Structure 1
Amino acid sequence: MLTVLFGLSGALVFGSGDFLGGMASKRMGAFLATGVAGVVGLFVLFGLNLFVPGEVTPETVFWGLISGVCGSLAILLLYAALAIGPMSILSPLGALISAIFPVLWAIFIAGETLAWFGYLALGIGAIAIVFVAFTPEKEAVKPRLRGIIFASVSGILIGLFLIVMDQVPQGAGVYPLVFNRFVNITIMFSAVGGMALIRWAHKRGYFGRDGKPRADLVVGDKGVLDYKNGILLALGCGILDATGNALLLFGIQTGNLSVMSVLTAMYPAGTIILAAVVLREKITKLQLLGMVLALAAAGMLALS
């Protein structure tokens, strides 16, 4: 039960944070948005250290650093994908892919076992993610190829991140995430110099092959920078992202990786709901059915 609570609450927090991250990326680019969120997340994790005791060991440092590489690139690509949009399609696509590798690893490599209805719940959860990601209606916004690629690679890296987090030794507290954030900050702000150079090229008229500015990673939506609102959104994103990571780590340490992988992959529900409310993106009937199935799967996993 505790694992399911960590998983569902973490998924909701993740989804909300991803929405803010995508909105921030629209206004000031994914590099800077991810970097600012990483700095804020680091302070949040330092605060959590006061309440969650942990021990720093070589294994803690190693897996924290490795998770930082996977997580940073995953979030960067995810925020870039969400900035391209539509969020209601690209977020579930990344989530579906992110659930595949950890589940296969947990069952076939780590040797995890569940009750028979636990495996059924994993299957229902996978179907739920597919339904949430599927938008057959003509009115639904179609994603661009670049957004699909970004979301897919992000999903692979999120899956690797979950596997790495499963290697963290018990009693590490949130220290692995602290080292994770140091890597995140280093990568993102090292890229800020390159970002500034590309923005200069944008101002000089050097665009992409299609004749349009590459706004997804470097500058805001339609090439318009909005640092004031972008930073505010990134601050909120950093708080939610760090909290979601902590809930994920606690869930993995108290339960099975396979269970947490599927539960964590439910995070698009939060993104979709916020996208529908704020951006007026369409939620289809299949997506609503997927959310119901996700809750049913979570209940079954809690009993397994």
Structure 2
Amino acid sequence: MIAVALATLCAVVYGTADFFGGLATRRSRVMAVVVLSQGAGLALVVALMPLLPGVPTAPALAWGMAAGVSGAAGLVLFYRALATGVMSVVAPTTATTSAALPVLYGLATGERPEPTALGGVALALVAVLLVSRDSSRSASEGGYGPLLTSLAAGAGFGGFFVLLAQAPEEAGMWPLFGARLSSIGLIALLALATGRTLRPGTGALRIILAAGILDMVANVLFMLAQQRGMLSLVGVLVSLYPASTLVLARYVLKERLNVVQMTGIGFTLAAVALIAAG
């Protein structure tokens, strides 16, 4: 039950971080938002280390750095897919793939959730698909290229969770430290190679820092959740984060949600209840 509560809170915080990140990208270049927000997250994890101490072993840092590379690759591929495809295909494909990978890995490595919890997992995967839908453009546009890129992006995001879960429990926050170092380095090198600016836009810095801090808080919650529960359940709960982003967009930005997305939010609540009951 503690793992379910932590994973659900993690999804809410992840969704809030994405909401702030979306606001920041309206005022700054994407690369600047990613690097600066992840820098803020790195500073936070360093500050948290005395409160959540751990052992900085080579395996802990290696798993963390591998997770960081996977997450950064997923992010680059996700933006690539958005640039060449349409949101109505890219978002649900990426989100569902990232949710399914931890589930498949957990089941393959011997995790056996209760039937009620497995029903919640199935409902959660449907919920992720629904809340990520955007009916503003035709899903038939873009061809297979963006679809394949979206699948790869989802694998990168899902791989982040799977790889991070491999770090020893006694490592504390050191895997997150390694993840941030590798992801910042990779994205910064990509920005330099492509000539992208890392300077934030006017008035965007505070929003970027908020996004980065919230993202790291969510990462910490994920670490705590997966140490106390099955990855197959924690991973899919965490992947419900688009629901909180949609709710914030609805009530803060007054954006309208379509019927499919509203149904997905309802499925999200039902999925959490089923997984908690299992």
Asked if these proteins are the same fold (TM beyond 0.5), I'd say yes
| Structure 1 residue 121, shift from structure 2 partner | 1.2
Instruction: Tell me the equivalent position of 1:206.
Output: none
Is 1:227 the equivalent of 2:208? Answer: no
Instruction: Tell me the equivalent position of 1:190.
Output: 189
Instruction: Tell me the equivalent position of 2:277.
Output: 303
CA distance in 2, matches of 1:22, 1:160: 23
Instruction: Tell me the equivalent position of 1:243.
Output: 217
Give yes or no for contact 1:165–1:252 (8 Å, CA) kept in 2.
no
Instruction: Tell me the equivalent position of 2:121.
Output: 122
Q: 1:83/1:237 Cα in 2 relative to 1: closer, same or farther (>3 Å)? A: farther
Please tell me whether Structure 1 or Structure 2 has the larger radius of gyration of its CA atoms. 1
Match runs of 1:258-273 below 5 Å? 258-273=232-247
Q: Which one is further off, 31-40 or 230-239?
A: 230-239
Q: 1:16/1:150 Cα in 2 relative to 1: closer, same or farther (>3 Å)? A: farther
Alignment partner for residue 227 of structure 2, among 253, 276, 290? 253
CA distance in 2, matches of 1:293, 1:280: 22
TM-score of the two chains, using structure 1 as the length reference: 0.80
1:19-58 alpha-carbon deviations (Å, 9 max, x no partner)? 2223323433222211101110011111221211211112
Instruction: Tell me the equivalent position of 1:104.
Output: 104
Match runs of 1:33-182 below 5 Å? 33-78=33-78, 90-108=90-108, 110-135=109-134, 140-142=136-138, 145=142, 151-182=150-181
| Structure 1 residue 82, shift from structure 2 partner | 7.2
Instruction: Tell me the equivalent position of 1:16.
Output: 16
Q: 1:184/1:122 Cα in 2 relative to 1: closer, same or farther (>3 Å)? A: same
Q: 1:141/1:276 Cα in 2 relative to 1: closer, same or farther (>3 Å)? A: farther
CA distance in 1, matches of 2:119, 2:189: 45
Q: 1:231/1:80 Cα in 2 relative to 1: closer, same or farther (>3 Å)? A: farther
| Structure 1 residue 9, shift from structure 2 partner | 0.9
| Structure 1 residue 195, shift from structure 2 partner | 3.8
CA distance in 2, matches of 1:303, 1:100: 21
Match runs of 1:254-293 below 5 Å? 254-293=228-267
Task: Indicate the percent of aligned positions where both proteins have the same amino acid.
Answer: 29
| Structure 1 residue 15, shift from structure 2 partner | 1.1
Q: 1:133/1:190 Cα in 2 relative to 1: closer, same or farther (>3 Å)? A: closer
Give yes or no for contact 2:32–2:200 (8 Å, CA) kept in 1.
no
Give yes or no for contact 1:22–1:80 (8 Å, CA) kept in 2.
no
| Structure 1 residue 228, shift from structure 2 partner | 2.1
Give yes or no for contact 2:191–2:197 (8 Å, CA) kept in 1.
no
Instruction: Tell me the equivalent position of 1:29.
Output: 29
For residue 259 of structure 1, what is the amino acid of its counterpart?
L
Give yes or no for contact 2:13–2:218 (8 Å, CA) kept in 1.
yes
| Structure 1 residue 190, shift from structure 2 partner | 1.9
Q: 1:49/1:123 Cα in 2 relative to 1: closer, same or farther (>3 Å)? A: same
For residue 111 of structure 2, what is the amino acid of its counterpart?
E
Q: 1:255/1:60 Cα in 2 relative to 1: closer, same or farther (>3 Å)? A: same
| Structure 1 residue 134, shift from structure 2 partner | 3.6
CA distance in 2, matches of 1:75, 1:133: 16
The RMSD of aligned alpha carbons is 2.8
